[in-house]
Structure 1
Amino acid sequence: MTTTAKTQPLASSAAITGRTAIVAGNGLLPIAIAESLQKQGADPLIIAIKGEASPDINARKHAEISIVELGGLMKILKSENIINVVLAGGIRHRPEFSAALHPGNGNLVALYRFMRAFRLGDDGLLKAVIATIESYGFRVVGAHEIVPDILAPEVGTITRRKADKESIANMQAAREAAIMIGSLDIGQAAIAVGRRVVALEGVEGTDAMLQRVAELRVAKRINRKGGVLVKCAKPQQEVRADLPAIGVSTVENAVKAGLKGIAIEARRTLILGYAETIAAANEAGIFIETFTQEAT
């Protein structure tokens, strides 16, 4: 497969020292990070985002904040002597622009940067949030720096089933589309069936896109069998937050959508619940392939 995108696998990070705070949204990632840090003998500070964090995280949280309470977040981080901050988990509800005017959102420079970011896509907004946090002297680290073994490996096929010729062609079509929408900061995934792109990820997320494809099959709008989901990092991706991810639910929804497999970018995609995800794919008889941007 070919592409014009030029990206590099995530480099290994230096050892993380000092106490780490996890700002937790929804999903499995915050729990995986917390458990990894605890196994290393660390005492992570878990800060749950109101209305977003999962019940498991809420049971372990030290504090809870609104997604727009950057000023309150800074106070918590300082009072707990935090050095590192990791942003983990999904955000289902994008805050309103007016919410950025929260009176506790810090100095005017940080507030202005945060407000401007609301005009941007997810990657642009995350970069602004990270810049704001770092302007207070904290270090923002990526989930992959704490739990490197959840990154997709560079081994090609990681399931029993491999991609056939038709699936490889679908992978190429979907990957080119995913890179294109990624460059526009729209989404990270696309689906191709019959060598034609039939779905692009938007703000609804990957699972909702897969559900949409399943509905299109029922409605006879997609008649060809098979198809492939491709997920990859945006060309300009802020790798310390919102790396593309798959998990058991991705596999389940891919099966419901009638797809033959999933292709993800090696070393730049997270596999949440690695063993469970591979087992689910093997049981369902679909493939999971990894690729690099330089693959041909």
Structure 2
Amino acid sequence: MRDVTAIIAGRGALPALVADSLGRQGAPFHIFELDGFAMDNPAGLPVERFILERLALLFNRMHDLGVTQVVFAGAVARAALDPERIDAQTAALLPQILPALQQGDDATLRAILQLFTEDGFQIAGAHEIAPDLLPEPGILTASQPGPVDETDAARAAEIVRGLGQLDLGQGAVVADGLCLAVETLPGTDAMLDWVADVAGKKRPIGRGGVFLKAPKPGQERRIDLPAIGPDTLARAARAGLNGVVIEASGVMILNRAETVAEADRRGLFLWVRPA
């Protein structure tokens, strides 16, 4: 009997892409969706929902189904636990869960991983299940970055490394060497929308710039590897940028053909830059 994989799903397209990859491999899987963070599910895949307050019951359910491997896929946000919903088994895990929720994202994710591994599950990264989500280095679009874009990308990479040391965001927008925005808790979409709506009014039209996304230094890549998709390119275009830069081997592209087509349609470059 083949090992069974549990997909712990959050928002976005990634859970379904991981499920599709497992299906093509003939590997059995079950999808468990965190309540309040519905995944994109155009194929109507069967999904079981769970709440963090009953995490121990989720573990029991996965053991009953023969799950041996877990992959985390999709976006979630930290929320306060509801004491009235906590079951007795999960209450025993609170000394590990609660301190982590008061720390940064990476600390929280490491604590959650530890709980799963202590219960006997192996953890796989989404990029390990679906390696085609990680593109090879190079420029994927007709539009190419110029010398100023390359300088801006280097500056943005420096900024993101600094953010990572503080366990903050995974992206920055730089134009002509000036940092227009950095990614924080609201995420990439909110940052790019802010550049379009606020920063864009304070700089000359057509000034350009780049959005760079990269994992944090020392980041736990099995659970929080960053990703972009078509909407990222659409927002970058609305923000008046010249292109999007992602770190090779560190950022997934969801729906790659559609993402590259969106970039070409908008006249932006999409550069997979070596770290």
CA pair 232-104 structure 1, distance change in 2 beyond 3 A: farther
Report how many residues are paired.
Answer: 273
CA pair 169-68 structure 1, distance change in 2 beyond 3 A: farther
Using structure 1 for the length normalisation, give the TM-score: 0.87
Matched, 1:78 2:63: yes
2-structure distance, mates of 1:234, 1:55: 26
Deviation per residue, 1:108-141 (Å, 9 max, x gap):
3x43121111121111111110110000001111
Q: Which runs of 5+ in 1 are unaligned?
A: 1-16
Q: Following TM superposition, by how much is the alpha carbon of 1:265 offset from its aligned partner in structure 2, in angstroms?
A: 0.5
Which residue does the alignment assign to 1:276? 258
> Aligned letter for 1:222?
R
Q: Which of residues 191, 198, 212 is equivalent to 1:209?
A: 191
Which residue does the alignment assign to 1:38? 23
| Secondary structure of the corresponding residue to residue 71 of structure 2 | strand
Which residue does the alignment assign to 1:221? 202
CA pair 171-100 structure 1, distance change in 2 beyond 3 A: farther
| Secondary structure of the corresponding residue to residue 222 of structure 2 | coil
Please give the residue correspondences for 1:254-293 in structure 2 after superposition, counting only pairs within 5 Å. Answer: 254-293=236-275
Q: Following TM superposition, by how much is the alpha carbon of 1:68 offset from its aligned partner in structure 2, in angstroms?
A: 3.7
Please give the residue correspondences for 1:236-251 in structure 2 after superposition, counting only pairs within 5 Å. Answer: 236-251=218-233
State whether residues 48 and 61 of structure 1, in contact with CA within 8 Å, keep that contact through their aligned partners in structure 2: no
Q: Which of residues 151, 155, 169 is equivalent to 1:187?
A: 169
| Secondary structure of the corresponding residue to residue 79 of structure 2 | coil
CA pair 100-35 structure 1, distance change in 2 beyond 3 A: farther
Please give the residue correspondences for 1:117-132 in structure 2 after superposition, counting only pairs within 5 Å. Answer: 117-132=100-115
CA pair 240-100 structure 1, distance change in 2 beyond 3 A: farther
Q: Following TM superposition, by how much is the alpha carbon of 1:251 offset from its aligned partner in structure 2, in angstroms?
A: 0.3
Please give the residue correspondences for 1:54-73 in structure 2 after superposition, counting only pairs within 5 Å. Answer: 54=39, 56=41, 59-73=44-58
2-structure distance, mates of 1:205, 1:229: 13
State whether residues 152 and 268 of structure 1, in contact with CA within 8 Å, keep that contact through their aligned partners in structure 2: no
Q: Following TM superposition, by how much is the alpha carbon of 1:101 offset from its aligned partner in structure 2, in angstroms?
A: 8.7
CA RMSD in angstroms comes to 1.9
Q: Following TM superposition, by how much is the alpha carbon of 1:55 offset from its aligned partner in structure 2, in angstroms?
A: 5.1
Which residue does the alignment assign to 1:53? 38
- After the TM superposition, which segments of 4 or more aligned residues of structure 1 sit over 4 Å from their partners? 97-101
Q: Which runs of 5+ in 2 are unaligned?
A: none
Deviation per residue, 1:158-180 (Å, 9 max, x gap):
21111101111111111111111
Using structure 2 for the length normalisation, give the TM-score: 0.93
1-structure distance, mates of 2:120, 2:129: 20
> Relative contact order (alpha carbons < 8 A, sep ≥ 6): 1 or 2 greater?
1
| Secondary structure of the corresponding residue to residue 216 of structure 2 | coil
1-structure distance, mates of 2:36, 2:44: 14
Matched, 1:140 2:119: no
> Aligned letter for 1:130?
L
Deviation per residue, 1:36-90 (Å, 9 max, x gap):
1111112210111111022517942341101343112111111111000011100
